[in-house]
Amino acid sequence: MTPRASRRASHRRRLTKSRAVVGGIAALGVTAAALVTTSMMSTAGAATAWPEAEGQQPTAKTIEVSGTLDGGLKRYYGTGDLGGDGQDEGQDPIFKLKDGAVLKNVIIGSPAADGIHCQGSCTLQNVWWEDVGEDAATFKGTSAGSTYTVHGGGAKKADDKVFQFNGAGKLVITKFQVSDFGKLVRSCGNCSKQYQRNVIVNDVDITAPGKSIVGINTNYGDTAALRGIRIHGDSGRKIATCDRFTGNNTGAEPPKTGSGPDGKHCRFTAGDISYR
C-alpha cells in the first residue's frame, strides 16, 4: 500500500469510528453539535464567555420580583441609596425576590449594593455580577423545603462571600463561574436564627485568587456536595474546598473545625475536583 493510500484508509477508519460514536450519542437524544460543545468543555475546561450588556438600568430603589423577570441582559447598577459597593452589613439589595420568583438574563454592575435577596425559593438563571458588593445573593427562606437554584452566570471581585446562605433549605449551583473571590458559599455561622442547610455545587469553574468554595456548620447538620469542580490558576491548591465550622446564634465568630471531605458533611472525593 502506498503512503497516500495508507493515509486515506486511516482517515476512513477514523471517520467511521467518529460516525459510530456520534450515532450512538444521537440515539441518546444528544446532537452532534452538543457533542462537540461538550468535548470542547471537557478538554479545555473553559467557562462560558461573559456576555456583553444590552443597555443600562440605573436603580435607585430595590426592584421587587414575583413571578419571572427577564432582564434581557441589561446591566443594573445602584444609584442614590443603592449606590454603595462596600462590605457594610445591612445594605439593601438591587433585587428582592419573593417566594418562587425567577430572575434571569441580568448583569449586575457596580455599584452592586447587596445584590439579590431571595425571601423564599428562587431561581437565578444566567445572572452575572461584574463586581460583587456586600454579597452577590443572600438566601433567606425559613422553610426546610425551600430550594434556591443558581444556573449559569458568574461573579467576579467578591471581597468576601459570593452567596450568603442565611435561611433554611437547599442551595443548588450549576454551570456557574467565579473568580477573584473570598468564599463562593457560606452557611451563616452566627445568625440569630439558625437552620440546617444543604449545598450542592456542580459543574462549576473557579479561578484563583479565592479562599474557599463552601463553608458549613456541622453542628446544625449542614452538608455540601461538590461535583465536577474545575479550579483554574491555583497550582499551590490554596483554595479550600469545604470548610467546617461550629456555628452559633449569638453573633460570635464561629470556630473552624476542619476542611476537606469527611464523608458526612463535606460529601465529595478527590476525583470531584480538578486543577487546570
Q: How far apart are CA 147 and CA 155, in angstroms?
A: 20
What length is written for the chain? 276
User: CB of 94 within 8 A of CB of 118?
Assistant: no
User: Measured between alpha carbons, how far is 242 from 258 in angstroms, rounded to an integer?
Assistant: 9
Q: How far apart are CA 193 and CA 70, in angstroms?
A: 32
Domain boundaries, the chain: 3-44, 56-275
CA proximity to 48, closest of 110, 126, 123: 126
**What class is the 56-275 domain?**
mainly beta
DSSP 195-257: --EEEEEEEEEEESS-SEEEEEEGGGT-EEEEEEEEEES-TT--SEEEEEE---SSSPPPPEE
Alpha-carbon distance of 86 to 230, in angstroms, equals 29
Structure-block grid coordinates of residue 160: 468576601
Q: What rounded mean pLDDT belongs to the chain?
A: 86
pLDDT in tens, 31-56: 333 322 232 233 345 578 999 999 99
> Residue 167 to residues 103, 117, 129, 164: CA-CA distances in angstroms?
19, 11, 22, 9
Question: Would you write out the chain's pLDDT as a tens digit for each of its 276 residues?
Answer: 444 444 444 444 443 433 343 333 333 333 333 322 232 233 345 578 999 999 999 999 999 999 999 999 999 999 998 985 554 556 899 999 999 999 999 999 999 999 999 999 999 999 999 999 889 999 999 999 999 999 999 999 999 999 999 999 999 999 999 999 999 999 999 999 999 999 999 999 999 999 999 999 999 999 999 999 999 999 999 999 999 999 999 999 999 999 999 999 999 999 999 999
| Residue 271 CA, distance from chain mean position | 19
**What DSSP designation does 56 have?**
E
Going from the C-alpha of 265 to that of each of 116, 158, 242, 254, the distances in angstroms are: 27, 25, 9, 17
Q: What are the start-end ranges of the E strands in the chain?
A: 56-59, 63-65, 68-78, 95-97, 101-108, 116-118, 122-129, 137-139, 147-151, 154-165, 169-174, 177-187, 197-207, 212-217, 223-232, 240-245, 256-259, 266-267, 273-275
Contact 91, 114 (CB under 8 A): yes
Q: How far apart are alpha carbons 71 and 104 in whole angstroms?
A: 6
Separation of alpha carbons 105 and 187, rounded Å:
26
C-alpha triplet 175, 198, 151: angle, nearest 5°: 20
- pLDDT of 89 reads 54
229, 261 Cβ separation under 8 angstroms: no
**pLDDT tens profile 164-215:** 999 999 999 999 999 999 999 999 999 999 999 999 999 999 999 999 999 9
Dihedral angle of Cα 97, 103, 107, 112, to the nearest 10 degrees: 10
- Phi-psi group of 51: left, alpha or beta (phi > 0 → left; psi -120 to 50 → alpha; rest → beta): beta
